[in-house]
Structure 1
Amino acid sequence: MFKLFRYILSALLFTTILIACKDDLEDGSNNNNPDEAQFSVDIGDSEIPYITVDTRGVSIENEPKIIADMTIYEKKVATNVSTIGIEYRGSTSFRLSDKKSFGVESWDAEGNDIKASYFGLPEEEDWILMGHVVNETEGYMFDQTLMYHYLGYEISRNIGKYASRTKFVELELNGEYQGVYIFMEKLKRDDNRIDLSKLEPSEIDEENITGGYILKIDKTSGGDLNLNQPLEYYYTNWDDDARYSESLSFRSRYDIYGNIIGFPAFGAPYHENQYLETYFLYEYPAADEIADEQKAYIQNYIDEFETALLTDNFAADERSYAEYIDIGSFVDYFIINELCRNVDAFRLSTYLTKNKGEKLNMGPVWDMNIGFDNGDRVPIDNWVINYNQYVDKDAWMMPFWWPRLLEDAQFRAAIKSRWNSLRTNELSTAKLHLMVNEISSYLIKHGAIERNYNRWTIGVPVDYLASIESLKDFLQTRAEWMDSEISNF
């Protein structure tokens, strides 16, 4: 009886939100233009931007991008007509999902990259149309709320850390409706994205060689490997996720337990000891541009940090590892990904940056689609950084950094101070719930949820209201568990 009452109360609350909630995600006024565009679905008076992409009869490839025409409609009025390059994106998600994601570049008529602004976002040429993972054959979805990426990045920005700027859109590709997508910035070095000093290959003197760098702890991909294969290849190219080489990456000298590795780097994909390794991919400067001297510098910097972290005496007052890393950025990265129970964080989809003359920073956060109430590879009442306790010999395990950092009372104290401050405001349960309510209300009010799930099915109806309540319950339970744990730090 209590569960029934709670469900009825939740439904009444949601109805109230839909009617009364100030729609902070919207802008602009109504439009009654008689020449409104016609789409493959009826969007009514929706104010969610609608994007059409026409590939001129050419099939999209995994690589390279093909030329296409993109039109952005707001309230059925075309507000931006662009030439773009488009390709599929993702490795695991590409293979698993029927609803594909796309990499987009703004092009001129001749196919050259040009900077462009969409939805008022800072000008750039690289963008992403991110779909959520849906496998209709096997009947599963990663994120029924459609908001994990959006919410995680919003949380990051709310606590003062850059994350990819995002906009909900609906996508129509070659006349076929594709559902709700998130139009977002691709992470890259840029004054308005990852704001780092430019590093030219010639800058190898003592001062300039110190930055800026972007590294990734991640799988390798077709883009890293410069593959040029037919589309069919990418559906089964699992080995290419783990095809590390000296040209595009370097390996930590230490294994996931902090021991010196005694076997050679760059073994065959999924060799029996791969789970012990942590690789760092050159993201900026790119692998085909970074100078050998720069590779040596950043490799040595990471190695010195790791050695300091392992050898520091945490009973003493001084921390030599703190000379290498920005503690605040590590604390914030920990808090965001732990709150969101992002089980891919720390060991995959992990960005690290180092600016000229500065320390190593963690972030920005990235890739939230396996997390929150669906991140159950790690229990709701344990840390994501304890991933290795729950998963045996995954090809990508948790590096030793994080368990080791949590052994340090000074690092724990920094987490405690920051967490307690954020919980009084930006990360209060009330504000987290308000964010979820506002985002979901926006999508429901404008009919996008109904249209998306008319397009994408997994054999059983999606109970969207239940998925929203599940997400809110998770955030409250997770945050309260973190309160309890961190209070003892």
Structure 2
Amino acid sequence: MLKRLLFLSLVIFISCEKPTEIPVVVPKGDDGQQFAVEVGESEVPYLVITTEGKEVKYGSDVVGQLKIYKQKKLAQEQRISISYRGKTSFRLSDKKAYNFETITPTGDGVDVAFLGMPAEEDWRLIGHIVNFKDKYQIDKSLIHNYVGYEFSRKIGKYASRGQLVEIEVNGVYQGVYYFCEKVKRDNNRVNIKSLNATSTNLSGGYILKIDKADAGPEHDGKPDSYFMNNWNDDATYNEFNSFRSKFDIFAKEISFPPFLAPYHPQKYVETYFTYDYPKAEEITKAQKEYIAKYIDQFERALLADDLSGNTRTYTNFIALPSFVDYFIISELCRNVDAYRISTFLEKDRDGRLAMGPVWDLNQGFEDGGRIPMNDWVANYNRIVTNDAWMVPFWWDRLLADPLFRNAVKVRWQSLRKSELATASMHAIIDEAGQTLKKSGAATRNYAIWDKGILINHDVSIQKLKQFVTDRSAWMDGKINAW
């Protein structure tokens, strides 16, 4: 009995003692900045973005501060203006992408270099696509854009430079992003001559896009609820923002007028070219007339040439090697958006029309399932019918031309021995995959973006490598037979 009383007394004494407090360790940078997550000794740059209590918007920029840390040490700090970006991805993805511009304390744009990339003022933060409602994700490897752009640079073509980073916005961790250059005219980006309202030589430079239409300035400042549902704006083309090819996707001259209502019954046969540089707000009437006429001259030459003969006139209007390289990268990456949206074209002063740079490869590689493994993305129109954005007739015509096919064959066979050898491509994928794995960045990303989907990042990397192996082997067989 005495032993039992002593035991109960000891229990009561212990339970009455003040519990030991375990200190909470808050992850911080070396400047005292609190982090939303613990990143340990990760070598992946960690970006902290704050917007001074204001909510990030789609239709207008808000001012904020960007801090870049490397292994928790503050490497750079910069004032920025930031907004959401994207069209379909903005509406459908729970993980939002961002545009930001580097600015001075007074709000003026200023060129700034980041992470070894040349100084400029316009930048992008692009994440993979996550849709919790419908339970799907696109680019589970987190590196589609990184890999595709690296392939392009390896073969000597400009593509947006970038680095894989982790970000938090206003104290909320957002995961892994690709921090990259906006495609724009600049000596270190799309290096073409400048063109302004006073230029007397109308031949360039121009940057055009085959793409969904941009909401015009009349939409500035509208609430995000508007942009979440503005599907009509994507197909609202007008004289201000674009011009239309005179030929439909079947290479027939179009008889109905341009700029009809969004998604009208014949929309799918049209190809529109939007003004990227000079911007729609800045391009002059004479410049619009020049570039529209140039595209028309190219198209008419492409259709008129006898492809069974030795003479070509369409090559007087285009830089053929750029079309070859664009075809190779787009097809290798199985970019389902290639040729028809997110498609850049450039024309330098006194130069020819060139394809590229490649852009927006999220829905490519192993996620490009709309296009079978054993078919060309350029054959999109035969696989998908009545999409509002189809492939221009150019690519059917080019693929029917022995001259173009031979140029692709020579280039492809050369690249497969070096820059696009399977082992070389795997090395690019492995390096990026290992960076995200060893740093813990992939694990942290999917701690918030998995939500029961049970994504295995290692498996995703292996699937990407297997896709590149299989796709390039299929291309070997097709191209070598030309």
Q: Which of the five TM-score ranges fits, normalised by the shorter chain?
A: over 0.9
Deviation for aligned residue 1:292: 0.7
2:473 corresponds, among 474, 480, 483, to 480
Give 3-state SS (helix, strand or coil) of 1:123's partner.
strand
Deviation for aligned residue 1:120: 2.1
Deviation for aligned residue 1:33: 9.1
Is residue 117 of structure 1 aligned with residue 110 of structure 2?
no
Contact 1:352–1:362 (Cα < 8 Å) also in 2 = yes
2:328 is aligned to 335
The residue correspondences of 1:126-145 to structure 2 (distance < 5 A) are: 126-145=122-141
Is residue 83 of structure 1 aligned with residue 76 of structure 2?
no
What are the ranges of 5 or more consecutive residues in structure 1 without an aligned counterpart?
1-31
Is residue 105 of structure 1 aligned with residue 101 of structure 2?
yes
C-alpha distance in 2, partners of 1:459/1:221? 35
Offset from partner CA, 1:379-425 (integer Å, 9 cap, x none): 01000000011111000011100011010001100000000000001
C-alpha distance in 1, partners of 2:417/2:339? 26
Deviation for aligned residue 1:35: 6.0
Contact 1:36–1:77 (Cα < 8 Å) also in 2 = no
2:385 is aligned to 392
Offset from partner CA, 1:8-61 (integer Å, 9 cap, x none): xxxxxxxxxxxxxxxxxxxxxxxx997665411111110111000111111111
Offset from partner CA, 1:346-379 (integer Å, 9 cap, x none): 0000000000111100000000000101101110
Give 3-state SS (helix, strand or coil) of 2:455's partner.
coil
| Structure 1 pair 440–223 and aligned structure 2 pair: CA distance change class (3 A) | farther
1:434 is aligned to 427
1:150 is aligned to 146
2:174 corresponds, among 166, 174, 178, to 178
Is residue 308 of structure 1 aligned with residue 304 of structure 2?
no
1:9 is aligned to none
| Structure 1 pair 97–223 and aligned structure 2 pair: CA distance change class (3 A) | farther
1:401 is aligned to 394
Give the aligned residue type for 2:397. Answer: R
Give 3-state SS (helix, strand or coil) of 1:84's partner.
strand
C-alpha distance in 2, partners of 1:156/1:331? 12
2:52 is aligned to 56
Considering only aligned residues, what root-mean-square deviation do their CA atoms show, in Å? Answer: 1.3
C-alpha distance in 1, partners of 2:218/2:343? 19
Normalising to structure 2: TM-score of the pair? Answer: 0.93
2:186 is aligned to 190
Deviation for aligned residue 1:63: 2.1
C-alpha distance in 2, partners of 1:288/1:81? 32
C-alpha distance in 1, partners of 2:441/2:113? 24
2:371 corresponds, among 378, 381, 384, to 378
Q: Which has the larger radius of gyration?
A: 2
Is residue 326 of structure 1 aligned with residue 327 of structure 2?
no
Deviation for aligned residue 1:102: 0.5
Higher mean C-alpha deviation, range 174-183 or range 222-231: 222-231
Contact 1:137–1:458 (Cα < 8 Å) also in 2 = no
What are the ranges of 5 or more consecutive residues in structure 2 without an aligned counterpart?
1-27
C-alpha distance in 2, partners of 1:389/1:319? 27
| Structure 1 pair 33–236 and aligned structure 2 pair: CA distance change class (3 A) | closer
Deviation for aligned residue 1:149: 0.5
Percent identity over paired residues: 49
Give the aligned residue type for 1:100. Answer: K
C-alpha distance in 2, partners of 1:370/1:165? 19
Give 3-state SS (helix, strand or coil) of 2:430's partner.
helix
Deviation for aligned residue 1:458: 4.1
The residue correspondences of 1:158-173 to structure 2 (distance < 5 A) are: 158-173=154-169
Contact 1:253–1:303 (Cα < 8 Å) also in 2 = yes
C-alpha distance in 2, partners of 1:33/1:475? 39
1:344 is aligned to 337
Higher mean C-alpha deviation, range 361-370 or range 108-117: 108-117
Contact 2:59–2:227 (Cα < 8 Å) also in 1 = no
Is residue 94 of structure 1 aligned with residue 90 of structure 2?
yes
C-alpha distance in 1, partners of 2:480/2:450? 43
Contact 1:252–1:279 (Cα < 8 Å) also in 2 = yes
C-alpha distance in 2, partners of 1:200/1:104? 24
C-alpha distance in 2, partners of 1:288/1:201? 11
| Structure 1 pair 294–461 and aligned structure 2 pair: CA distance change class (3 A) | same
1:467 corresponds, among 449, 460, 479, to 460
Contact 1:36–1:76 (Cα < 8 Å) also in 2 = no
Deviation for aligned residue 1:203: 1.8
Is residue 290 of structure 1 aligned with residue 286 of structure 2?
no
Give 3-state SS (helix, strand or coil) of 1:210's partner.
coil
Contact 1:96–1:135 (Cα < 8 Å) also in 2 = yes
| Structure 1 pair 270–438 and aligned structure 2 pair: CA distance change class (3 A) | same
1:455 is aligned to 448
C-alpha distance in 2, partners of 1:460/1:290? 47
Normalising to structure 1: TM-score of the pair? Answer: 0.91
| Structure 1 pair 225–277 and aligned structure 2 pair: CA distance change class (3 A) | farther
Deviation for aligned residue 1:125: 0.6
2:215 is aligned to 222
C-alpha distance in 1, partners of 2:207/2:217? 14
Offset from partner CA, 1:189-248 (integer Å, 9 cap, x none): 0000000101111224xxx11110000000012357654311111111110100000111
C-alpha distance in 2, partners of 1:280/1:460? 39
Contact 1:343–1:378 (Cα < 8 Å) also in 2 = yes
Give the aligned residue type for 1:74. Answer: K
Contact 1:136–1:459 (Cα < 8 Å) also in 2 = no
2:14 is aligned to none
2:4 is aligned to none
C-alpha distance in 1, partners of 2:179/2:216? 21
C-alpha distance in 1, partners of 2:29/2:390? 55
Is residue 257 of structure 1 aligned with residue 257 of structure 2?
no
Offset from partner CA, 1:231-276 (integer Å, 9 cap, x none): 1111111101000001110000000010001111001110000000
